[in-house]
Amino acid sequence: MLLPLACASAIGVVAGLAPIPVLVVTLAAAAVCGIVLELEWAALVVVSASVFEDYLVRTDPRAVKVLGVLLVLAWIVRRCSGRLHREQRSPVLVAALVFVVALLVSTLVHNNGDTGTAVVVRYAGFLAVLLVLSDVLRGRLAPERLARVYVAACTAAAVCGLLTYALAEDPRVGGPIADPNDFAFFLLAAVPLAFALRRRGRHGWVWSVAAVVVVLAVIGTLSRGALLGLVAMGVFALATRMVRLRAAVDLAVVLVALVALTAAFFPSLVETSLHQKGHVADQNVSERLALWREASQMTLERPLLGMGPGAFSLDHGAFSPELPDDVNHPLDVAHNTWLEISSELGLFGLTAFVAMLSVAFAQAWSGWRRARDPMSAAVSAALVGAAVAATFVTEQYYLPLWLLCALAVGVGSRSAPCVHLAPGTTAGED
């Protein structure tokens, strides 16, 4: 009794001396407790915050990492009271475990110092998020709910990017993710999810508007990889009859009209954007071809385990002197997810990573074929588009690929008959 009384008295005294800092600390502590004690909230916060990563980093460089730690902590707290579901281990997580083995072995064989450690830590964060999201999406958190939050976050981010572009603060739509190519990759994954929500929800027009805004922002990024991914995604969805031709035509007409209006109201801005993009286009192509050659040569040099995490940014220059002389920006990524992984983790790591995505696609595709579930169709199409776009950008260090794998686990589980556990029960309880 004395200890709580002493703590309460101390807090009262401090609050009297400095009420505003105490109020801020109290609200922050309440928010942390709420996130930790409510796993589903933590998952939704982390996924939505990922779209605004650069904004959060400007506020505090540790913000994104803190949210990830809170998510894992919330998961541990929930798992202490029992399992979240009765499902068997997902093959996606088995492939992810093999990738972990490849990552660790490559790290032990090739120590690349602080750069390698930073890459390993980033991989560890996304693997932890994949594990937690895969678990919670087979429990109380429905994939549709997570998709709604992600699409809403991407729509808000797209609006921010479009406003920034309209104010001529950036020649390309960038927004909360500063690099337009990376920003486009986030938005790309949201497009088919918005179409699925349009078909399942009562307020379909809301998600139709969201899809239009997001696609318009993708076009504004002028990211060739994302645009190719968008086309591949659309062709796949039409070929598999996931999307009706009329819906695709309607979207195309609306987008053409919006692009034409943008060009009419902001002619100088659009002209400047296209001119700058065309000016650097040839140099970008030559840079990327040279980087791809370097990554390929690094893979051939150490085909099994690669040259270790972080090796590409450290060593790629030693494998080719062919980069243009007028490069005025750092070239520390391969602009190709698959080649960068193979150069650092070898064919072992690349095979595990591709297997993880392939199994995720198989699970989502199975849900579409078996139950005609729109969300399963959306995840399948998103994985196709993301795989195409990832050929032109380095995206293993961002959330969308990992999020789509987790959603595939969730929709695959929901489309099959299963029994989920109530909170606080264990696998052996009725």
What is the residue-wise DSSP string for 244-308?
Answer: -HHHHHHHHHHHHHHHHHHHHHSHHHHHHHHHHHHHHHHHHHHHHHHHHHHHHHHHHHSTTTTT-
Asked if 345 and 106 touch (Cβ cutoff 8 Å), the reply is yes
Amino acid at 136: V
Q: What pLDDT, on a 0 to 100 scale, did the predictor assign at position 11? A: 41
Residue 388 has pLDDT above 50, yes or no: yes
Calculate mean pLDDT across residues 1-30: 48
Q: Quick count: other Cβ atoms within 10 Å of Cβ 228? A: 15
> How many angstroms separate the CA atoms of 403 and 44, rounded?
11
Rounded Cα gap, residues 122 and 271, in angstroms: 38
CA neighbor of 396 nearest in space, from 349, 348, 347: 349
Cα 300 to chain centroid distance, Å, stands at 29
Q: What share of the chain is helix, strand, coil (3-state, %, to 5)?
A: 75, 0, 25
Q: Quote the tokens at residue 285.
A: 């192509």
pLDDT tens per residue across span 91-113 = 999 999 999 999 999 999 998 99
Question: Structure tokens of 180?
Answer: 């337009």
| pLDDT one-digit tens code per residue, 274-327 | 555 555 555 667 788 888 999 999 999 999 999 999 999 888 878 765 555 444
Write down the pLDDT at residue 410: 93
pLDDT of residue 424: 42
Task: Output the CA angle 362-397-85, nearest 5 degrees.
Answer: 45
Stronger pLDDT, 20 or 383, i.e. the higher one: 383
How far CA 417 is from CA of 367, 370, 414, in Å, comes to: 11, 11, 7
Helix and strand totals (H; E) in the chain = 17, 0
Q: What is the pTM of this model?
A: 0.85
Provide the CB-side half-sphere exposure for 219 (13 A, CA): 16
Mean pLDDT value of segment 217-238: 90
Distance from C-alpha of 287 to C-alpha of 180, rounded to nearest angstrom: 17
More confident call, 421 vs 136: 136
**How confident is the model at residue 35, as a pLDDT?**
59
Q: Evaluate whether 176 touches 51 at the Cβ level (below 8 Å).
A: yes
**418/101: higher pLDDT:** 101
198: confidence class by pLDDT, cuts 50, 70, 90: confident
Q: Is the pLDDT of residue 423 over 50?
A: no
What confidence tier does 37 reach under pLDDT thresholds 50, 70, 90? low
For 370, the token pair is: 């078996």
Average of per-residue pLDDT across 63-90: 84
Looking at per-residue pLDDT, the higher value among 63 and 268 belongs to 63
List CB contacts of 220: < 8 A, sequence separation 6 or more. Answer: 161, 162, 165, 172, 173
Query: Cβ distance 292 to 336 under 8 Å?
Result: yes
Q: How far is CA 388 from the centre of its chain?
A: 15
pLDDT at residue 3 is higher than 50: no
Name the average pLDDT for the chain. Answer: 82
Give the position of tokens 């475990």. 97
Given a contact cutoff of 8 angstroms between Cβ atoms, the answer to whether 376 and 412 are in contact is yes
64 vs 59, 67, 122, 399, CA distance in Å?
A: 10, 5, 11, 12
Quick one: tokens of 52?
């605004």
Most confident stretch, 12-16, 27-31, 253-257, 327-331: 253-257
User: Do 310 and 112 meet the contact criterion of CB atoms below 8 Å apart?
Assistant: yes
Return the DSSP state at 427.
T
For tokens 């002028």, name the residue: 222
| CB neighbourhood size of 338 (10 A) | 19
**Sequence letter at residue 296:** S
Q: In a 3-state reduction of DSSP, which class is residue 420?
A: strand
Within a 10 A sphere around the Cβ of 349, how many other Cβ atoms?
A: 26
pLDDT higher than 70, residue 201? no
Query: What string of H, E and C letters represents the secondary structure of 201-221?
Result: CCCHHHHHHHHHHHHHHHHHH
Q: What is the pLDDT of residue 287?
A: 82
Q: Are 191 and 233 in contact (CB under 8 A)?
A: yes
* Pair 83, 421: CB distance under 8 Å: yes
- What pLDDT is stored for residue 6 in this prediction? 52
On the CB side of 253, CA atoms within 13 Å amount to 6
Q: Which residues contact 267 (CB under 8 A, 6 or more apart)?
A: none
- 50-64, 148-162, 268-282, 363-377 — which one is most confidently predicted on average? 148-162
pLDDT single digits (tens) 208-221: 899 999 999 999 88
Distances (CA, A) of 234 to 64, 108, 183, 200, 411: 32, 42, 19, 19, 20
426 exposure class (CB count in 10 Å sphere: 0-12, 13-18, 19+): exposed
What's residue 26's pLDDT?
46
